[in-house]
Amino acid sequence: MRSGLYNKAPVVGAFHLKMSVNFNTIEFLTSAATLEQCPKDEGAEVAFCGRSNAGKSSAINALTRQKSLARTSKTPGRTQLINFFALDEHRRLVDLPGFGYAKVPMSVKDHWQRHLDEYMRERTCLKGMVLLMDIRHPMKAFDEMMIEWSIASKLPLHILLTKADKLKRGGQQNSLLGVRKGLPSEVDVQLFSATKKNGIDLLERTLDQWLTGESE
């Protein structure tokens, strides 16, 4: 269950994961439809979530400098699965299914939501969540739900306002300030553009802190 994630460094055996993360060496690990199918609950992982049009795959590919890494999880049969990518033996990035996908039976959506909720509540190695929002359409109901959940669960949350290149500088800043104004102080938000490769350094620093246990 979620508890004490702000102050607890990820531990494997007797060793803290202090080494900085190389995001370029990431590889697809496995897909899971249920919590039981997930890799062993140890080490540290960070999950990416967002609406299906928020640019999640593009952001993961930009972060890892791999053009088609996240696309691996988009092949038929994996679209509603939790997808794990290994950074090293003990650290992972997790690509959660995009919320709002069309042409899916309600029974399938209910199944996905039930197991996603179970993953987020029960996965003790989950050290943080990256929530992606299209900068032109931020703070939808799903986004607000995820923010409320992360705060209640004491799970660190970092928001990416994606597709920032679609707006001029003034529009970017207005959206950033508008979103930031409605957030509690413990939630971070930044501009991000996978196309222009803007915001990658800040995202890397945040993930590195979570995955090495160096966050405040």
pLDDT at 168 over 70: yes
Q: DSSP secondary-structure letter at 81?
A: S
| Among 11-15, 51-55, 59-63, 77-81, the range of highest mean pLDDT | 59-63
Average pLDDT over residues 83-107: 81
Which pTM does this prediction carry?
0.85
- The residue type found at 104 is V
For residues 173 and 183, the answer to whether their CB atoms sit within 8 Å is no
Q: Which residues contact 110 (CB under 8 A, 6 or more apart)?
A: none
For residues 44 and 11, the answer to whether their CB atoms sit within 8 Å is no
For residue 170, with 0-12 CB atoms within 10 Å meaning exposed, 13-18 middle and 19 or more buried, which class applies? exposed
pLDDT at 178 over 90: yes
pLDDT at 8 over 80: no
Q: Is 141 helix (H, G, I), strand (E, B) or coil?
A: helix
- At 34 the pLDDT is 85
| Phi-psi category of residue 73: left, alpha or beta, with phi > 0 → left and psi -120 to 50 → alpha | alpha
Residue with the larger pLDDT of the pair 98 and 179? 179
- At 49 the pLDDT is 94
- Give just the sign of the alpha carbon dihedral 36, 146, 59, 12: negative
- At 14 the pLDDT is 34
Residue with the larger pLDDT of the pair 4 and 49? 49
Which tens digit of pLDDT belongs to each residue from 98-149? Answer: 776 545 566 666 766 777 788 888 999 999 999 999 999 999 988 998 999 8
Confidence of residue 78 (pLDDT cuts 50, 70, 90): very low
pLDDT at 79 over 50: yes
Rounded to whole angstroms, how far apart are CA atoms 191 and 203? 10
Mean pLDDT of the chain: 84
- At 4 the pLDDT is 35
Taking the domain 21-212, which CATH number applies?
3.40.50.300
* Integer Rg of the chain from CA: 16
Percent of the chain having pLDDT more than 70? 80
